[in-house]
Amino acid sequence: MASMPTPRRRLIAHLDMDAFYASVELLRYPDLRGQAVVIGGGRDRQPVRQADGTLRYATLREYAGRGVITTCTYEARALGVHSGMGVMKAARLAPDAVLLPVDFDEYRLYSRRFKEAVRCLTPLIEDRGIDEIYIDLTDLPGAQDDAGRATARALKDAVFEATGLRCSIGVSPNKLLSKIGSDLDKPDGLTLLGAADIPTRIWPLAARKVNGIGPKAAARLEGIGIHTIGDVAAADPDFLVAEFGPSYGAWLHAAAHGRDDRPIVTHSEPKSISRETTFERDLHAVRDRTTLSESFTRLCERLAGDLQRKGYATQTVGIKLRYDDFRIVTRDVTLPAAIGDATSIRRAAGSCLKRVDLSRRLRLLGVRAGTLTRLNHGIACTDPSGTTTGPTIDAATTRTPPSVDQVELPFDDGPGEMSA
């Protein structure tokens, strides 16, 4: 009687680029390799070419403002600096660290390159952001022979060849463990995890290392004496349900034991696309009208570019404001037809601005596009230059919108509560 075939093990990889933004910058400025480098704080701190041909870089000790660190090199992290930290606080920890401005266009370029390199080996990837993806290795030739080690190594080599950048990969039976694994041996790590590794490699980690246990949940767990993933695993499931509710409590118990059956999602439609900027100082609608108007225009143009690049038009446009007291307000408007050009987005977002209090100073301004529609559904989209892209409709029903500069700015109305 023929023997039954051995069941195929599920092999899921999580690929995470190492210090992605900082690593891209080091390609541009290789003389900074091995140094503490911080990315963030504003756009006006480009390196300056000196008379002798060398570059002069800004340092944290020269910074004045309230910017936030986007990312940093591992050398900066060794000094206590980390992403999300205020730049002024980082300056006290590492005053001589080099400060570079963010360049998202360059980061998106390298993001596309590393993902294309992976797709050359397998199309079964789930895009999780600019610097990370999940990959299903289960049915790739040879992956079952060594739990995915050689395949993961090939992926790392392909990414490096395409970008010059290093990445870390975790491979396990599911997305939850692989996400944790990719962070265990950074940088340039390759970590394989199985059920037998959970007590030794997973349970000693802090509970917040589980993707899905955020700062608030971690604080609540700390408050009841649960500090590590192992503590969560050892807790009575009924106790977790009583503390966190039936859904999240049951998930905590399963996650701590490494159970996760989520599939790889190779395609999903975004619910919204947004752009926002945090000002280095609080801005007033009248006294800083020019700066706010320019920022508002730039956000709308970039949002329009995002929509065109991704192939969408929007029927809902919204704004987001954060005041100097950290209070956040949002407003949106639903349009009779989908749009995609910067001028129309700016006009719609401007109508939202007229419905909020502009008497307080602003820390943050954002513009959002929702109710997205793919352009291949028969919607024409016009870019800021007036060029129609995507499928066209009857020319008799279309018109070229005015230039962005011809649209009246909501900030020109002055401060105070504005009527729609």
Question: 212-249, pLDDT tens digit by residue?
Answer: 999 999 999 999 999 999 999 999 999 999 999 999 99
User: Residue 174 falls within a domain, yes or no?
Assistant: yes
At 190 the pLDDT is: 98
229 shares its domain with 251: yes
Task: Give the residue with greater pLDDT, 265 vs 411.
Answer: 265
Local confidence band at 385 (pLDDT 50, 70, 90 cut-offs): very low
pTM over the 0.75 mark: no
Within a domain: residue 228? yes
Structural domain includes residue 206: no
Alpha-carbon dihedral 341, 344, 345, 347, rounded to 10 degrees:
160
The residue among 209 and 271 whose pLDDT is bigger is 209
Q: Is residue 204 part of a domain?
A: no
Q: Is the dihedral of CA 73, 66, 326, 371 positive or negative?
A: negative
322-350 mean pLDDT? 93
pLDDT mean over 289-314: 92
Is 357 inside a domain boundary? Answer: yes
DSSP helix/strand/coil, 288? coil
Torsion of CA 68, 70, 75, 81, to 10 degrees: 30
Give dist(CA 196, CA 215) in Å, integer. Answer: 28
Q: Which domain holds residue 299?
A: 272-413
Number of domains the chain is built from: 4
Tens of pLDDT, residue by residue over 108-124, are 999 999 999 999 999 99
How far apart (Å, rounded) are the C-alpha atoms in residues 330 and 364?
Answer: 12
DSSP one-letter string for 186-246: -SS-EEE--GGGIIIIITTSBGGGSTT--HHHHHHHHHTT--BHHHHHHS-HHHHHHHH-H
Q: Over 80: is that where the pLDDT of 407 sits?
A: no
Same domain, 286 and 397: yes
380 assigned to some structural domain? yes
Residue 5: pLDDT band with limits 50, 70, 90: low
Can you give the C-alpha Rg of the chain in angstroms?
A: 25
The share of the chain scoring above pLDDT 70, in percent, equals 87
Q: Where are the beta strands (DSSP E) in 243-302?
A: 272-283
CATH number for position 69: 3.40.1170.60
283 and 405 together in one domain:
yes
Structure-derived torsion over alpha carbons of residues 42, 43, 48, 54, reported in degrees to the nearest 10: 80
The answer on 407 and 288 residing in a single domain is yes
Query: Which one from 25, 126, 132, 301 is the annotated catalytic residue?
Result: 132
CATH of the domain at 122: 3.30.70.270
Residues 117 and 152 in one domain: yes
195 and 219 share one domain: no
Name, in order, each residue with C-beta under 8 angstroms of 334's C-beta and a sequence gap of 6 or more: 315, 316, 371
Domain's final residue, options 102, 121, 145: 102
At residue 410, the pLDDT reads: 55
Which of 167, 199, 231 terminates a domain? The answer is 199
Q: Does one domain contain both 172 and 225?
A: no
Q: How confident is the model at residue 400 (pLDDT cuts 50, 70, 90)?
A: very low
CATH number, domain with residue 370: 3.30.1490.100
Residues 96 and 111 in one domain: no
pLDDT at 175 > cutoff 90: yes
Counting other chains too, the contacts that 222-226 makes at CB distance below 8 Å and 24 or more residues apart are: none
Q: Residue 264 falls within a domain, yes or no? A: no
Which of 102, 136, 167 terminates a domain? The answer is 102
d(CA 93, CA 80): 7
pLDDT at 416: 36
Give pLDDT, residue 66.
Answer: 73
User: Residue 15 burial (CB < 10 Å; 0-12/13-18/19+)?
Assistant: buried
Please indicate, yes or no, if residue 6 is contained in any of the structural domains. Answer: no
Is 132 labeled as catalytic in the residue annotation? yes
Of residues 182 and 44, which shows the higher confidence score? 182
| Whether residues 326 and 242 fall in one domain | no
3-class secondary structure, 350: helix
Residues 6+ apart with CB under 8 A from 262: 174, 175, 176
> What average pLDDT does the chain have?
86
d(CA 285, CA 292): 7
Per-residue pLDDT at 386 exceeds 60: no
* Per-residue model confidence as pLDDT tens digits over 46-91: 888 888 888 899 999 988 877 888 899 999 999 999 988 888 899 9
Are 326 and 390 within one domain?
A: yes
Would you call the peptide bond into 187 cis, given omega within 30 degrees of 0 as the criterion? yes
Q: Are residues 295 and 329 in the same domain?
A: yes
Same domain, 113 and 67: no
* Percentage with pLDDT > 90 across the chain: 67
